[in-house]
Chains A and B, each alone.
Chain A
Amino acid sequence: MLSPEAESLHREAREAIAACAGEDALAAVERAYLGKNGAVGRMLAAIKDVPPAERPRRGQEANALKERIGTALAARRAELEAARLERERRAVDFDPSLPGRPLLAGSLHPVTQVTRELEDIFASMGYSILDGPEVELDYYNFAALNIPADHPAREMFDTFWCDRDEHLLLRTHTSPVQMRALERLTPPFRAIVPGRCFRNETVDASHEHTFHQMEGLVVGEGITLGHLIGTMKTFLRELFQREPEVRLRPGYFPFVEPGLELDARCPFCTAGCSVCKGSTWIELCPCGMVHPTVLRYGHVDPARYTGFAFGLGLSRLVMLRFGIDDIRHLMSGDLRFLEQF
């Protein structure tokens, strides 16, 4: 039971608490009653002035009062906090139709993206990834690939020559790395070589003097044309994630014998379109069994080892993959193009 004075103080405090509309007011009320010099504090301080017999009762009363006011404060605080949260939940000035702030991202060139995809597929099949120079010696680009000087096949390559003696050139294909691989690696081995190649062509929507290829070379005992076909089908299935429809036909490249062209069914049409020039097939990959002369140049015994090689048109694959209709974009350095990838 509280004394009438205490009871009146309690009522007074509760009214003050109920009137509080925010934390600042609550804090002031808390100070006024429970602070060092607050009303309850003063009650406690006055205890020493009452007779000792009455002191315990007065002490209990003060503590009871402190606890009740404290409870009321906490309850009011919780109430106000709940009201504040409720206001926050309701008072939303929010337009759900607005898009998010765009992420300022960078980009990887589409040729890099497709190159990586191919590298990953072949690396998972145990292929090494090799590299070779873009300014290349005639020996590696032609002579060691069974294309000696004055061979009419040289006409097929539209070469950029770096000297009048036809000694130094910009590589016309990634095939020179075949010979570099034969010099460096010991059979059996499997290797791919992605890279930049050059042909002296007039540039238009479907021709570039600079393009990307990926060479493949496998040398070992008992390697057959069937292995080449199996490898190409596996790779295409991995790349396109479906069983590929391919066509194999003869093709002439002096560094392979037999030489083949691998075509894939045009992904853009069923009856012929501008991409496949009406044929429904897309030339993807010249390939074949490594010519014994090439193996010999690389100091590999053709009686013991056979091998196959292929030259994937990387730029072509990039265009197919992304539906790019103009090859010139690839080397343009135009942000409007690059940002899309």
Chain B
Amino acid sequence: MLISYRWLQRHVDLAGITPREVAEDLTIHTAEVEGLARFAPWLDDVVVGRVVAHGRHPDADRLSVNRVDVGGGECLSIVCGAPNVGQGQTVAVARAGTMLPTGEDGSLVKLKKGRVRGQESQGMICSVRELQLGDEHAGIWVLDTAAPLGTPIARALGLEDWVVEIDNKSLTNRPDLWGHRGIAGEIAAIHGRPLRPLEFALPAADSPAHYPVRVETASCFRYLGLPIDGVANGPSPDWLRVLLLAVGQRPIDLLVDLSNFVMLDLGQPNHLFDRDRLSPAGIEVRDARPGETMATLDGIERRFSSADMLICSGGAPVAIAGVMGGEAARVEASTTRLLLEVASFHPTTVRRTSARLGLRTDASTRFEKYLDPTLPALAAAHLVAILRAIQPQVAFPQALGDAGDWTDPSRTIDLRPDRVREVLGAAIPDAEIARILASLGFGVARGALWRIEVPAARATKDIAIEEDLIEEVGRMYGYGRLPVQRIRADVEPPPREHRRLLVRRLEDRLSGAARFHQAMTHSFQSDALLAALRLASLPHVEVVNPVVAGYSKVRRSIVPSLLGVLAENRRHRAEIRLYEIGKGYLPEGTDERGQPGERHEIGLVWAAPRLDPGAHFDAPCFARLRGVVEDLVAHAGAEAPRWRRTAPGEAPPWAHPGKTVLAESPGSAGPLALVGELEPGLHGAIGLAGELDCQVAAGLVSIDLLLAHPRRAGAYRPLPRFPGVKLDVALALPVDVPAGDAAAAIEAAGKGLVQAIELFDVYRGETLGAGRKSLAYHVLLQSPERTLTDADAARFLARLERGAAELGGELRRD
């Protein structure tokens, strides 16, 4: 909301308080100020000038060449296209170099010196529109001022102003601050100055009969209707136009401007109807009938539901209550007979209608804050007073119609001054508390328990309990003045959060030893990505109002998000090692309160250029990622799980159905960890085609299951006291024998003597025969009791030979 410094002065004397101080005071005591700007700053550079010579342009019929005196002995030669320029006129002159709002959307453009059809022009004689002071552009603006030549027109015409922009959100709880009067009240309270009184009497009507108004819905608290006759619509007086311009409102005509002025002044929306277009039966306020339609002022046909509230006349809607007037009974230039509407509507009804129609207006924004129902009478009197000052001839044929079921919200709240001091933690004296509350318009009755009268304007919403009054004292006293306190408490460590400790440990391992980079990606996964990864048919939590269409699904798992950023990263990096720790949501796991199932997991991807054929390992990214995941599980202190290849249909759709392994935790659903190569058909689908093509392995570790997995016993083993025997053994086995079985066979053959096993080579080739592989291991045999001999090694090899045979293979002897 924009607040004009000049406008505030209509309500409070601001002598000695600069616009900057107003902005700072409001920031510290009232609401968030987003900016402070000079109103129309170019008016400080455009000056009063006089046309001292005027002649035809020698080469252009429609142009004139003028000499314009801008004071200080300076005379400018200006070529002008306006038809109304004449010698002796006082005009608004912009010198070349002045920034003027003549660009698109009023942006500032530097006025250039130039030659127009061969004649030099050193500036511009401005029209009203060129100065953004109105729409008139038929000719230049001829000024009526006695100010000396060269005076900036902002000063000469009294247009100097500053505009404070206040963040609307910070006024959500203050229906009383949606006009200049309310803001002026805050400044008055801060500086201990009085507010100027407002006119508060309607003139007597010609007839004592009240204008007929019927309220037929509980959504309308109060409806005032006042007929006004003899109005001559036309342009508004300058003072009104300038104030509206300052707060960003385009002046239209007297009636529209007046209505806007009262809203921006008192915060009370109101509406003027052309009474000739209303039924003589008057106004009824009622809920809409389902399917009922009406064209609003913006020319759009609107369809209503029974939750909407309409202002009707003769049965037909003429306005949407609290939102926007109708096209049919709008005031025009020719309107002479008015109906002034000032009302008080239910905030929720207005909010819902406005939201449903996507029609947020200055009026609806104010009504949904819950306006004071005593305010309409004041606003009606205020509007009438200003109208009569401008057009004394207006007449009031009937008395004010005033209908509705409403109560004055003013109330009394108990306040304990000790509680004020307790909550704020400051020794603010009673007298200071009383002074602050009184300055804000609260009635203060001191006693053992203070009785605080809350005025109607504050009582609809904001001030309901003692804490609300404490806030009033705190903010006006100044939060910055409150003494700093330290919490005193029993010293005790906070409970350990095992999940967070585990996550930290795993992050450190991944970003440290494993050399992975931690990513964070959006919780949304695009329809395109999910379709590419063949995940679109899975149930997803979905937002109904996504930022962009096709970006509404909340992820179930982290892995697809990481696969989704691979292609872009591959443009810049050959090798990609990324992980993310985050949450996925499963609609099928929704609990009885409606909360979807949650899973907390680590997603990992490892991508690298494809290896040359014949390279040593056949899937290095896969194997390395598996190594990382195995290490993570061990590093978490979990017992080593058993790994197995996924059963048909068990691998996630993004994973290679034959090259995916998983580890399970006893008794839990879903894998503790899973590692797979990317399904070979998906590289192109996620953008890894052509130069970006690469090998990709991806995996996940469930934080939830890892926390529940059995712990591994102490990690320490005593150091060996006797030398061991190192052996290299190779087992030729059918390819489908898991490497874990081979390691188990070695373990068994050692009869407790195997201290370390390391797989160092995997080989498949013709010499082995089809369907066979060779796994070669470094094995360390060691005893805690004695030095092993060649005989021990021979017995181990003999047992391993039998073990290999049991697996359908043999111990290789080369």
Contacts and interface: CB of A to CB of B under 8 A. Distances in A.
A291 B462 CA distance: 13
Interface in A120-173: 123, 125-131, 133-137, 150, 152-153, 155-156, 160-164, 167-168, 170
A18 interface: no
Interface of B: 27-32, 35, 169-174, 347-348, 351-352, 368-370, 422-426, 465, 467-468, 470-471, 474-475, 479-480, 482-487, 489, 491-495, 497, 499-500, 504, 507-508, 510-512, 514-524, 541-547, 554, 561-562, 564-565, 568-569, 572-573, 576-578, 580, 582-583, 585, 593-596, 598
A200 B545 contact: yes
Given A108-B507, A153-B172, A338 B487 contact: no
Contacts of B27: 249
Contact of B467 (A106, A150, A202, A292): A292
Given A161-B544, A334-B568, A249 B479 contact: yes
A118 B465 CA distance: 35
A-B interface, 7 closest residue pairs, ranked by CB to CB distance from nearest: A226-B425, A224-B425, A258-B471, A333-B565, A226-B485, A248-B479, A106-B511
Contacts of A127: 494
A250 B169 CA distance: 12
B520 A167 contact: no
Contacts of B545: 160-161, 200
B288 to A, nearest CB: 18
Interface stretch (A19-27, A73-81, A215-223): A215-223
A260 B348 CA distance: 26
A200 B547 contact: yes
Interface on chain A toward B: helix, strand, loop, or mixed SS?
mixed
A336 interface: yes
Contacts of A316: none
Interface size class of A (residues with CB under 8 A): 35 or more
Among B31, B499, B520, find the residue whose CB has the most chain A CB atoms closer than 10 A: B520
Interface stretch (A5-13, A58-66, A228-236): A228-236
Contacts of A277: 35
B543 A162 contact: yes
A165 B542 CA distance: 13
Given A137-B595, A226-B483, 6 more contacts: A170-B543, A196-B523, A226-B485, A248-B480, A292-B465, A333-B580
A198 interface: yes
A333 B467 contact: no
Among A150, A252, A289, find the residue whose CB has the most chain B CB atoms closer than 10 A: A252
30 contacts: A104-B515, A106-B518, A128-B497, A135-B554, A135-B595, A137-B595, A152-B172, A161-B544, A162-B541, A168-B596, A170-B543, A190-B489, A196-B523, A220-B487, A220-B489, A224-B423, A225-B423, A226-B426, A227-B486, A230-B486, A250-B479, A252-B171, A252-B173, A257-B467, A258-B423, A289-B423, A292-B465, A331-B521, A331-B522, A334-B568
A301 interface: no
A234 B484 CA distance: 10
A34 B474 CA distance: 103
B495 A106 contact: no
Contact of B487 (A106, A109, A128, A223): A223
B511 A291 contact: no
Contacts of B426: 225-226
Contacts of B577: 106
B479 A109 contact: no
Contacts of A271: none
Contact of B480 (A162, A209, A247): A247
Contacts of B171: 252
A134 B467 contact: no
A259 interface: yes
A339 B28 CA distance: 42
Interface of A: 104-109, 111-112, 116, 119, 123, 125-131, 133-137, 150, 152-153, 155-156, 160-164, 167-168, 170, 188, 190, 196, 198, 200-203, 209-210, 218, 220, 222-227, 229-231, 233-234, 247-252, 254, 257-261, 277-278, 289, 291-292, 306, 330-336, 338-339
B674 to A, nearest CB: 21
Contacts of B474: 225, 258
Contacts of B425: 224-227
Contacts of B508: 108
A338 B351 CA distance: 44
Contacts of A289: 423, 467
Among A116, A163, A335, find the residue whose CB has the most chain B CB atoms closer than 10 A: A335
B547 A203 contact: yes
Nearest to B487: A227
Among B542, B544, B554, B572, find the residue whose CB has the most chain A CB atoms closer than 10 A: B544
Among B482, B494, B504, B594, find the residue whose CB has the most chain A CB atoms closer than 10 A: B494
Contacts of A231: 487
A183 to B, nearest CB: 12
B479 A137 contact: no
A137 B593 contact: yes
Contacts of B486: 227, 230, 234
B231 to A, nearest CB: 35
B542 A162 contact: yes
Contact of B32 (A123, A128, A251, A254): A251
B479 A339 contact: no
Given A152-B351, A163-B544, A229 B172 contact: no
Contacts of B580: 333
A125 B487 CA distance: 10
B594 A168 contact: yes
Contact of B494 (A128, A278, A306): A128
A330 B479 contact: no
A116 B494 CA distance: 16
Contacts of B370: 152
Given A112-B518, A210-B523, A252-B173, A225 B497 contact: no
A17 B455 CA distance: 116
A247 B28 CA distance: 8
Given A225-B425, A261-B32, A126 B542 contact: no
Given A225-B482, A250-B29, A116 B593 contact: no
A254 B489 CA distance: 28
A218 B494 CA distance: 13
Among A106, A134, A160, A210, find the residue whose CB has the most chain B CB atoms closer than 10 A: A106
A204 to B, nearest CB: 12
Contacts of B585: 134-135
